[in-house]
Structure 1
Amino acid sequence: MAKGSSVQALYELCKRTFLPSAASPPSSHAIQMLSSLMDTITPAEVGLEEETLEDERGHGFFGSNFSNYSSRTARWAQPITYLHIYECDSFTIGIFCLPTSSVIPLHDHPGMTVLSKILYGSLHVKSYDWVEPACLARTTEPFNSPVKLAKLHTDAVLVAPCQTKILYPETGGNLHCFTAVTPCAVLDVLAPPYDEAAGRSCTYYRDFPYSSFQGPANLEIEEKEEEYAWLEVNNQPVNLYMRSGIYAGPAIQETFCFPGTCNIV
């Protein structure tokens, strides 16, 4: 029964943590409880098997009989599969399944808290946080948008099993890029979900070394320049191929919270 599953427990803890009427963000204790629970979840508990992900490697749109001539195109076209588990106005739970070499480009999570747990495989994560107060620089091209300074938070290959990663609205690597080193799967909790009407649209970026642009004369970079980059808004990449898959894990049984009974402090 789903009632006793880890996914059910995750849902119920999210329900008590991310309240629609909350006047302030959840406490760090509540977020750590969620993180600790996600640390325990295995691929089998969400209906995944490692060997199933690599089946479509290198085929993408084209199928296994497509000529070798198109192998490079098929490489970037291989699909990233999203498995929807649950969504409400306060949070969403889902799994991204990434074939080898697939990329989720650099993007942001405005006003959102995100918990990401690598279920299996190896994943390169590169993430940034904005430098505050905001620091802008103009590009040499007249029609380009200004670039904005960000500080590197993470640039590493993470290998399962590893601890759940947490990013917050302003810190923790709110802007990140995923590149699959091997077939991998990532369990994600986003709170609240993307919502364009509420000002939470997903924006994509491309990064440039700090030396690429001239910042304000009074800007002091205390650490190494390699720890900073200029980010420019980028249109959604045309080579991002994402599709919906069928979640094969235990179904969630919705529960209901009553005022004053669900908050975690």
Structure 2
Amino acid sequence: MQQNGTFASYNQTSSSGGSSGSSSTLQAFFSSAKAAVLRGGLNETNTETVNSLLRLMSHISLEELGLDPDMVQDPFLGALKLHLRDSRIKYMRIYEDHTLTFGLFCFPAGATIPLHNHPGMTVFSRLLFGRLRVSAFDWVVQPPEPITEGSGHRAQLVYDATVEASSPPLVLFPASGGNLHEFTAETPCAVLDLLTPPYEPPTRNCTYYRLQRPPMVWPVARSAGGRAPVGPPLPALGEVVELEVFEPPDSFEVVSGLYPGDPVS
């Protein structure tokens, strides 16, 4: 596991895993986030507001979200309860307006949201149960938006770790904190996610990326097992790589689900 301090200055407390929230913590987090958005204070320069929101987010209980606390100990039981029967990711919307989007992403084991950007956005994410691999990059030089095609966009790997229910929430900003990230579920898991402002195509579109693909190299066979193509090595933390725009495969699909928890307003 690779990890650095990109998020550390904003992650002052550990997550409770759903065991120590009060009945009002979900609403308190949402109200505080909404107020910060409306006064224009939800950014990397306002560390006091960001840290306060991360503390609130870490104490939202699973019960408030309509989830079973037993999911922390047995994420595969959680997958059954959330009806995650195939490879599709489920999104449950809690709230959405022109200023922010708030909801739950529910992942079957092995599901991936490919590397994608968050143009001009601040995003708070908390893993609620299970294990999730998070890899995140920042642009070396911010490319103009919207990016529709082409390659050669340079980005640096700033975060690469497996997070668990006990991990603190993560936050990213428009130009720092890992604005491009990829999620891969090592077990069934759920992520509480608040982003502001929302995606708004075509000017604020979600664009997917991958490492720029060099030609495959076919090594000389050394055994009866034959030859296998050698692809690009995974980048090391801090390494600068070239990213290219791509369309996710048809197997990648996010479907809507019904949010089972407490409403916010």
* TM-score with structure 1 setting the length: 0.72
CA drift of 1:208 comes to: 3.8
Greater C-alpha Rg: 1
The answer as to 2:79 corresponding to 1:53 is yes
The CA distance in 2 between the partners of 1:209 and 1:226, in whole Å, is 19
More helix as a share of residues: 1
Mapped to 2, the partners of 1:158 and 1:177 lie a distance apart of: 13
Q: Distance in 1 between matches of 2:105 and 2:170?
A: 15
Does structure 1 conserve the Cα–Cα contact (< 8 Å) formed by 2:106 and 2:189? yes
SS at match of 1:247: coil
Amino acid at match of 1:132: V
Aligned-residue sequence identity (percent) comes to 38
Equivalent residue number for residue 30 of structure 1: 49
4+ runs deviating over 3 angstroms: 21-26, 54-57, 208-212, 223-226
Structure 2 residue corresponding to 1:160, chosen from 165, 168, 188 = 165
Give RMSD over aligned pairs: 2.7
Alignment-derived partner of residue 216 in structure 1: none
Aligned residues: 212
What is the aligned counterpart of 2:261 among 244, 249, 257? 249
Q: Secondary structure at the match of 1:109?
A: coil
Unaligned stretches of 5+ residues in structure 2? 1-21, 72-76, 144-148, 217-234
User: Matches of 2:104 and 2:208 in 1, distance apart?
Assistant: 20
Aligned-pair CA distance for 1:210: 9.6
2:209 aligns with one of 205, 208, 228: 205
Q: Amino acid of the residue matched to residue 204 of structure 1?
A: Y
Q: What is residue 228 of structure 1 aligned with on the other side? A: 240
Question: 1:112 corresponds to which residue?
Answer: 121
Q: Tell me if the contact between 1:210 and 1:226 (Cα under 8 Å) persists in the aligned partners.
A: no
Match of 1:188 in 2: 193
Q: Partners of 2:25 and 2:263 in 1: how far apart?
A: 11
2:90 matched to which residue of 1?
81
Q: What's 1:263 paired with? A: none
Change in 2 beyond 3 A, CA 1:200/1:243: same
Q: Tell me, which stretches of 5 or more residues in structure 1 are unaligned?
A: 61-77, 135-143, 213-222, 255-265
Say if 2:107 is the partner of 1:98: yes
